[in-house]
């Protein structure tokens, strides 16, 4: 199977501003930031979207959330706050079919989202 866009970023075949990585996840700055800080954290495992995750991904999914909070802290967002977003499918606004969690912060974020 061919690599997803985010697998290529993780493999450094496509350049990105990587802010954190380990054996399970990679976090890098979004190319089209929607807030002063906009980072994506993705599992190295190419799960297509949260709706496709399986029971045996439970540990990895928890790991992604814990690391997202850690990366937000590293990015200086612990005091002011941040938002984690996972888009799923067409109406959810998903455009890249490799599970990713958006980490957004650096300005007040409106609710509800558009």
Positions touching ligand 5GP (CB under 6 A) are 5, 14, 16, 28-32, 40, 87, 93-96
Beta bridge partners of 29: 39
Question: Is 100 annotated in the active site?
Answer: yes
Which strands, in side-by-side order, build the sheet including 101-105? 18-21, 25-29, 37-43, 101-105, 82-85
Query: Measured from the CB of residue 90, what is the shortest distance to ligand 5GP in angstroms?
Result: 11
Query: Measured from the CB of residue 33, what is the shortest distance to ligand 5GP in angstroms?
Result: 8
**Is 36 or 79 the residue whose CB approaches ligand 5GP more closely?**
36
Phi, psi of 10, deg, nearest 5? -60, -35
Q: Which residues are catalytic?
A: 100
């Amino acid at each position: 199977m061919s690599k997803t866009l985010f697998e290529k970023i993780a493999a450094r075949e496509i350049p990105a501003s990587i802010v954190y990585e380990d054996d399970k996840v990679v976090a890098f700055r979004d190319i089209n930031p929607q807030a002063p800080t906009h980072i994506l954290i993705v599992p190295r495992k190419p799960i297509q979207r949260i709706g496709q995750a399986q029971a045996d991904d439970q540990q990895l999914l928890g790991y992604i959330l814990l690391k997202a909070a850690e990366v937000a802290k590293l990015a200086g967002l612990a005091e002011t706050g941040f938002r984690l977003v996972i888009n799923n499918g067409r109406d959810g606004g998903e455009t890249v079919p490799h599970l990713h969690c958006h980490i957004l912060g650096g300005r007040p974020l409106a609710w509800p989202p558009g």
